[in-house]
Amino acid sequence: MIRLFVPKEIAAGERRVAATPETVKKYVKAGLEVVVEAGAGEGSSIVDSRYAEAGAMVVADAKGAWAEADLVVKVSVPSTAEVARMKAGAVLVSFMAPHRNLDVVRKLADARVTSLAMELVPRTTRAQTMDALSSQANIAGYKAVLLAATRLGKYFPLLMTAAGTVPPAKVVIMGAGVAGLQAIATAKRLGAVVEVSDVRAAAKEQVESLGGKFIELPMQESGDGAGGYAKEMSEDFLRKQREIVMQHLAKADVVICTALVPGRKAPILVSDEALKVMRPGAVVVDLAVTEGGNCTQSKADQEVTWNGVHILAPSNLAGSMAEDASVVYSRNVLALVLNFVKDGALALDLGDEINAGSLLTHEGKVTHAATAGLMG
């Protein structure tokens, strides 16, 4: 019988958990033995007794559980110390950010641990239930608007009062991926006027369907990348984009930055020059800070006030809504695990595009080509 282990996350500020009582029941039904580290669900308001009632064994000895596990499911990138506890041939499913954690990838390969990275799950129709990037980005986009609304010193909606009319806040959203689209919907529900910039022409229809106004850019080159992601654009295009968007930033009360390019540094969209034309009291929320940030003055998990503009750069906004973030993330993980667990046994079919696409290390090798290239 496969022994699946759910550890308590040790990364600073990480409150999410990779399995909930709901998914534990489904693992048990699929023939797995589930072991949960005591306190693993505390950050998501899940007490140990609920895991036990779902059929898991709750243990205090994390070191022993790591060593005995055939399969480990996590949220945050494992530490090298955690990898060292795993036995050869075990399988790890987690977010990995491999391009930023080459030492961990090397340790996984050396330990002969098979790892599947949640951010490498292919963006295909069949893999939608496993798309953790989207499930967590959706939460981040929602929370980013609430964070901005809390920090902004004015109303979001249009108000007509006895003391006169208060105009609505003007929100500019950079990037219309999953986080950006949720940010549009949330800002509109709060009554703001929303404008959106994206390098993908195909995003215009989605933006307008949510009530946002699409900022037209010079589309001499396409920003549409594989799997619905944006691709890296030329410096000339980005310069023209910044020039056009700056006119809108000058009038903005809030800017939400969500632009990412998989495996690469985030593009700079809000430069020092742009910050200089923004009004004092405006708020920037930069969701791309883990990849360098879309704003030049962003500092991870700090608030910076620069030229009167308040810049917020939370590195784990989804984790700040740990209860729902854990619910959807655990379902993503479950769907991926059940894609390679058959009849209670590990059956990692590398002919399956989802398994092959998600695979990071296997049998002592780094199997993800881009990561292997970074490692030389």
For residue 75, what pLDDT is reported?
98
- Considering the candidates 3, 123, 151, 189, report the single residue annotated as catalytic: 123
Rounded CA-CA distance 166/156 in Å is 9
Amino acid at 317: L
Q: Tell me which residue has tokens 């990364």.
A: 11
Q: Residue 156 is part of which domain span? A: 138-316
For residue 356, what pLDDT is reported?
96
Residue 227 in this model has a pLDDT that exceeds 80: no
Total domain count, the chain: 2
Residues 309 and 169 in one domain: yes
- Considering the candidates 94, 115, 134, 136, report the single residue annotated as catalytic: 134
For residue 343, what pLDDT is reported?
86
Residues 355 and 297 in one domain: no
154 domain-assigned: yes
pLDDT band at 240 (very low <50, low <70, confident <90, very high): confident
40 domain-assigned: yes
Q: Which of 146, 139, 217 lies closest to 181, judged by CA?
A: 139
Q: What is the β-pairing status of strands 309-312 and 303-306?
A: antiparallel
Q: Is 136 one of the annotated active-site residues of the chain?
A: no
358 domain-assigned: yes
369 domain-assigned: no
Least confident residue range of 59-73, 237-251, 291-305: 237-251
pLDDT band at 263 (very low <50, low <70, confident <90, very high): confident
Residues 49 and 63 in one domain: yes
Compute how many other C-beta atoms are within 10 angstroms of the C-beta atom of residue 24: 24
Helix (H) or strand (E) holding 304: strand 303-306
Residues 298 and 259 in one domain: yes
Alpha-carbon separation of residue 194 from 202, 256, 295, 300, 331 (angstroms):
18, 10, 19, 25, 32
- C-alpha 326: how far from its chain's center? 12
Average pLDDT over residues 241-270: 90
- C-alpha 213: how far from its chain's center? 25
- pLDDT (tens digit per residue) in 269-302: 999 999 999 999 999 999 999 999 999 999 999 9
- pLDDT (tens digit per residue) in 197-208: 998 888 999 999
Residues 169 and 302 in one domain: yes
Q: Which residues of 228-250 are buried (b: 16+ CB within 10 A; e: fewer)?
A: ebbebbeeebeeebbeebbebbe
Rounded CA-CA distance 159/281 in Å is 20
Average pLDDT over residues 76-83: 97
Residue 217 in this model has a pLDDT that exceeds 90: no
Rounded CA-CA distance 150/48 in Å is 34
Give the ranges where the chain is alpha helix by DSSP (H): 21-29, 48-54, 62-68, 80-84, 102-110, 132-151, 178-189, 203-209, 235-249, 272-277, 322-340, 353-358, 369-374
The DSSP secondary structure of 31-74, one letter per residue, reads T-EEEEETTTTGGGT--HHHHHHHTPEEES-HHHHHHH-SEEE-
CB 71 within 8 Å of CB 79: no
Helix (H) or strand (E) holding 116: strand 114-117
310 domain-assigned: yes
For residue 230, what pLDDT is reported?
52
368 domain-assigned: no
Residues 147 and 286 in one domain: yes
- Considering the candidates 128, 222, 234, 302, report the single residue annotated as catalytic: 128
3-state SS assignment for residue 314: coil
Rounded CA-CA distance 313/12 in Å is 16
For residue 219, what pLDDT is reported?
60
Residues 103 and 248 in one domain: no
Query: Which CATH number does the domain housing residue 337 bear?
Result: 3.40.50.720
pLDDT band at 261 (very low <50, low <70, confident <90, very high): confident
Residue 233 in this model has a pLDDT that exceeds 70: no
Rounded CA-CA distance 246/276 in Å is 10
Burial label, 216 (beta-carbon count in 10 A; 0-12, 13-18, 19+): exposed
- Considering the candidates 70, 131, 253, 286, report the single residue annotated as catalytic: 131
128 domain-assigned: no
Q: Is 123 one of the annotated active-site residues of the chain?
A: yes
Residues 70 and 152 in one domain: no
Which position has the higher pLDDT, 200 or 354? 354
Q: What is the mean pLDDT of the chain?
A: 94
Residues 184 and 301 in one domain: yes
Residues 16 and 95 in one domain: yes
Rounded CA-CA distance 243/195 in Å is 15
Q: What is the dihedral of CA 305, 156, 292, 242, to 10 degrees?
A: -90
Residues 289 and 353 in one domain: no
Rounded CA-CA distance 110/132 in Å is 27
For residue 223, what pLDDT is reported?
47
Residues 156 and 295 in one domain: yes
Q: Is 229 one of the annotated active-site residues of the chain?
A: yes
- Considering the candidates 229, 271, 315, 352, report the single residue annotated as catalytic: 229
CB 234 within 8 Å of CB 210: no
159 domain-assigned: yes
pTM, to two decimals:
0.92
CB 254 within 8 Å of CB 285: yes
Q: Which of 295, 301, 302, 300 lies closest to 275, judged by CA?
A: 295
